[in-house]
Structure 1
């Protein structure tokens, strides 16, 4: 389940990046989607509305998927701090052996 959500999250993230880069910013930006290359498919205003709506939907999906992944993986994490893990027990030091006493 977690792997499927992670793959969907990755696809939504990449789509969101592409849609944001395609939009025309106030300063010009990349503005790839608003040029005349659309072949008259949509007007500038229609393209802006479509891209704005798509950005809002993808942003909401990104937020929801991030929360879902955080909640699913909440119980599976292991303590990673040195203060949280128990101290390793050291073996007792070996006692020096006494020399063998010859018996007569």
Structure 2
């Protein structure tokens, strides 16, 4: 289901880009110049303008659908919850033996016998 919605989303996005590029440029940025579209009130609705609205609504709808699908697939907890609940399931220890659970960020010096983690005494 997610792949179908994602494919539709990509097709709508490409179509929207094409329709926007096909429209007539009014010149000037932010509605300045080009026949007084901002001053004269409402401009005539063209077929490309209507199609832009339809494709924009479709892009919005597929974005919401993808968000809902992703929320349903989530485990019901945030990433931070998963990190604090299971620190032992994180990445394996690196070549220095550091588990990433605290201590110094620098590797131990040669001949240094101090433990990487504080003892539970």
* Residue pairs, 1:1-104, within 5 angstroms: 1-27=1-27, 49-77=46-74, 81=79, 84-85=82-83, 86-88=86-88
How far apart, in 1, do the equivalents of 2:71 and 2:51 lie? 30
Between the two proteins, the alignment pairs up a number of residues equal to 74
The unaligned stretches of length 5 or more in structure 1 are 29-44, 94-104
Higher RCO by CA contacts (8 Å cutoff, separation 6 or greater): 1
Which structure has the larger Rg over C-alpha atoms?
1
How far apart, in 2, do the equivalents of 1:71 and 1:20 lie? 28
Shift of 1:26: 1.1
More helix by share: 1
The TM-score, its normalising length taken from structure 1, stands at 0.58
Structure 1 runs (4+) deviating above 6 angstroms are none
The unaligned stretches of length 5 or more in structure 2 are 29-42, 90-98, 100-114, 116-121
Deviations 1:14-41 (A, max 9, x none): 000000011112118xxxxxxxxxxxxx
- Secondary structure of 2:14's partner? helix
- Secondary structure of 2:46's partner? helix
How far apart, in 1, do the equivalents of 2:61 and 2:87 lie? 39
CA RMSD of aligned residues (A): 3.0
